[in-house]
Amino acid sequence: MPRPEIIAHRGTPRVHPENSLPGFARALELGVDGIELDVHLTRDGVPVVHHDPDLGPGAESPVAGRRIVDLTLDELRTHALAPGVPVPTLAEVCALADGRAVLYVEVKARDAEDAVAALLAARGDRTPVHSFDHRVSRGVRDRAPATPVGVLSVSYLVDTIGAMRAADARDLWQHWSMIDAPLVESVHAAGGRVIAWTVNDPAHAVALARMGVDGVCTDLPDQMAAALAPRIS
């Protein structure tokens, strides 16, 4: 049985701040196949890596609680995820992971397609893009044809393949609890891939691997790798 890709969800969030360079560096040290991250856009059009649209609290931050879209990159740099740990740009994470792991880029911001596509177009399949907003996935695909895209879903769709085709998507990012063998088989038959998120129970990871999922996105990449290692063909 082929082992699915181990994809570090926002880096190593149980050890380091999520979506941070230290968290991504630790995931790379663990030898993950991929890293999943989230992208928003600053007021001056820079793709930055952060999950929420606004910043969290910070006693030393003059911009705590502000929306990222309202801040320039320089203003955003005054906010720390932890002492000495700024919000990274997407370009910085690309440089860190280059040649070491695939970066799976979830675009959370509307109107970010141009900036994201411009940054990733030359990187091809090293930086696939996905989104809950399937229009964003399709928009990046139209602007950067060499960039694979995916659609995120927390539901079991009546016409999954139709949704993927509408976005010209290669990957289905499906919540792990809504995956079964017929879904995996239908996506594979259509030439697509299934990535399960967010899987933190080794028993669930093994069951999903037996169904044939192509990737397991997890907060615990070391534990998932250990659970799935015997299943490398």
Distances (CA, A) of 226 to 31, 101, 182, 197: 12, 18, 27, 18
Stretch 173-182: mean pLDDT: 98
Q: Average of pLDDT values for 77-83?
A: 95
- Closest C-alpha among 152, 157, 133, 149 to residue 196: 152
Flag whether pLDDT at 232 surpasses 50.
no
DSSP letter string, 182-198: HHHHHHHHTT-EEEEE-
* Cβ proximity of 127 and 100 under 8 Å: no
Residue 1 pLDDT class (50, 70, 90 cuts): low
CA distances from 148 to 75, 121, 124, 167 (A): 32, 10, 7, 11
Average predicted confidence (pLDDT) for the chain: 96
| Residue-level pLDDT at 233 | 41
Q: For 96-138, how does the pLDDT look when each residue is reduced to its tens digit (9 = 90+)? A: 999 999 999 999 998 999 999 999 999 999 999 999 999 999 9
Mean pLDDT across 133-154: 98
Q: What is the mean pLDDT of residues 180-207?
A: 98
Q: What pLDDT score does 60 carry?
A: 86
Mean pLDDT of 187-207: 98
Q: Whole-angstrom Cα distance, residue 5 to residue 23? A: 18
Of 157, 116, 118, 155, nearest in space to 136 by CA: 116
Using a 10 angstrom Cβ sphere, with 0-12 exposed, 13-18 middle and 19 or more buried, the burial of residue 74 is exposed
Q: What is the pLDDT of residue 229?
A: 86
Tell me what the mean pLDDT of segment 204-221 comes to: 97
- Helix 21-29 crosses helix 90-97 at what angle (to 10 degrees)? 20
Query: What is the average pLDDT across 135-161?
Result: 98
pTM of the predicted model, to two decimals? Answer: 0.96
Average pLDDT over residues 186-195: 98
Statement: residue 231 has pLDDT above 60: no
